Amino acid sequence: MQIRPSPRRLVVSYAHPEAYAPLARAILAKMGFWIVPIEEVPELPPSWATRRPELRIVDERRLGEVPEDMEEDGEPIPMIVLTGRQGITGVDPRIIGAAKRPAGLHDLYRLVQEALEETPRATPRVPTHLPARCRRNGHEWRGSVLSLSENGCLLRSPEPVPLGTQVEIEFLLPRAGTIVTQAEVAYQLVPDFGLVFHSTPAASRESILAFVQSTLAHT
């Protein structure tokens, strides 16, 4: 199963490559967020080079380079600022958030989602087909994980699972081993169920995140 590319959203970067964590820009591009250095904008196809960016990512040391232009609706073009440990200071209505350099995929994804999406998702997810075991009230059955994120999964289950109930789910993650975590059945996407993980061991969360990022990077 392949990830369908999202429609491209133009994000202009006023930051050097080392201000981003490895693969962060490449993975976001595959998810539809095209982060283009300001120096490369003139090299874009005319239909893109003349467009106003939907978002800017700016190293705080380069804030003076950013024009004070507006979107078509008169609102300022939003900015994410890459900064140090101290965070951002001062008031600038264009700034919607900040991330510490070098900015990692998770932090950037969350901020970009908040800036551009009507229904933001906190963490990226990837399609999968992982056999799973589910347990509830002493009963065990088999299912399949159809998509996976650090925070949850989409489960195909041959047995109905009441919404709001707690289950234990176990699945084998390639190159990482067995993941076992508690989860809440949060929603139904007929015929499947959306599970939100909780009480997941830190090592398991790190393994899931690494799997998601690796899958996105090589899709």
What integer pLDDT is reported at residue 70 of this predicted model? 67
Residue with tokens 């899709």: 219
Q: Give the integer Cα–Cα distance in Å for 135 and 137.
A: 7
pLDDT in tens, 88-130: 766 788 988 888 899 988 789 888 988 888 767 777 889 999 9
Ordered structural domains, the chain, with CATH: 9-116 (3.40.50.2300), 125-217 (2.40.10.220)
Can you tell me whether residue 64 is helix, strand or coil?
Answer: helix
The predicted model scores a pTM of: 0.66
pLDDT in tens, 137-146: 999 999 999 9
Long-range residue pairs from 80-83, CB within 8 A, at least 24 positions apart, any chain? 80/55, 80/56, 80/108, 80/111, 80/112, 80/115, 82/15, 82/19, 82/57, 82/58
